[in-house]
Amino acid sequence: MSDMSEANETLSGAMGLLTRYHPLHELLGMTVEPLDTDSLCIKFAMRDELCGYPGQGILYGGVIAAVIDIIGGTIVSWSRLKDIKEQPLQEQVKRLKNIGTVDLRVDYLRPGKGKEFTATASVLRTGQKIVVTRMELHNEEQRLIAVGIGTYTVG
């Protein structure tokens, strides 16, 4: 099996466990895809409901914070899942539920204008206790709108 289809399969397992229906995800209208074997992306389209002011066409700060948090937590789960995929499903679920955000920083670099947005994440540090991730949010013109960095406990 190719690395990429394996990445998809692992993701699908993680998604079944993790990105269960959530109202925030529905509000964002987001989909999660593996970018390559080490990074993930979330895509979502501009909608008036995601803006700070109706008609202004700029993503609301709270929406950006939520997306950055979600993609960070998802890549931690996904990378963790790769390590524990031989274990029984019940054990996998328990391990994934042990993952927690310790802290998160978001830098809002430019106004959140655009039609399509892509959030990506990669792992900066990994270990038995702590995982640190870097997140980025671009629009369809590859303009960097926000960056994030997050620290997570795994167990």
Could you say which of 32, 68, 75, 119 contacts its own copies (CB under 8 A)?
68
Least distance CB 11 / its own copies (angstroms): 18
By CB under 8 A, tell whether 62 contacts its own copies: yes
By CB under 8 A, tell whether 104 contacts its own copies: yes
By CB under 8 A, tell whether 98 contacts its own copies: no
* 75 neighbors 119 (Cβ within 8 angstroms): no
Please state, in angstroms and rounded to a whole number, the distance separating the CA atoms of residues 96 and 80. 8
* 147 neighbors 136 (Cβ within 8 angstroms): yes
Could you say which of 111, 113, 122, 143 contacts its own copies (CB under 8 A)?
111
Q: From residue 154, give the alpha-carbon distance in Å to each of 10, 62, 66, 73, 129.
A: 18, 26, 20, 11, 5
By CB under 8 A, tell whether 134 contacts its own copies: yes
Strands (E), the chain: 31-34, 40-45, 100-108, 116-125, 130-139, 144-153
Least distance CB 2 / its own copies (angstroms): 28
Residues at the site binding its own copies, with contacts judged by CB under 8 A: 20, 22-24, 27, 49-50, 52-54, 56, 60-63, 65-70, 73, 97, 100-111, 124-125, 129-130, 132, 134, 144, 147, 149, 151, 153, 155
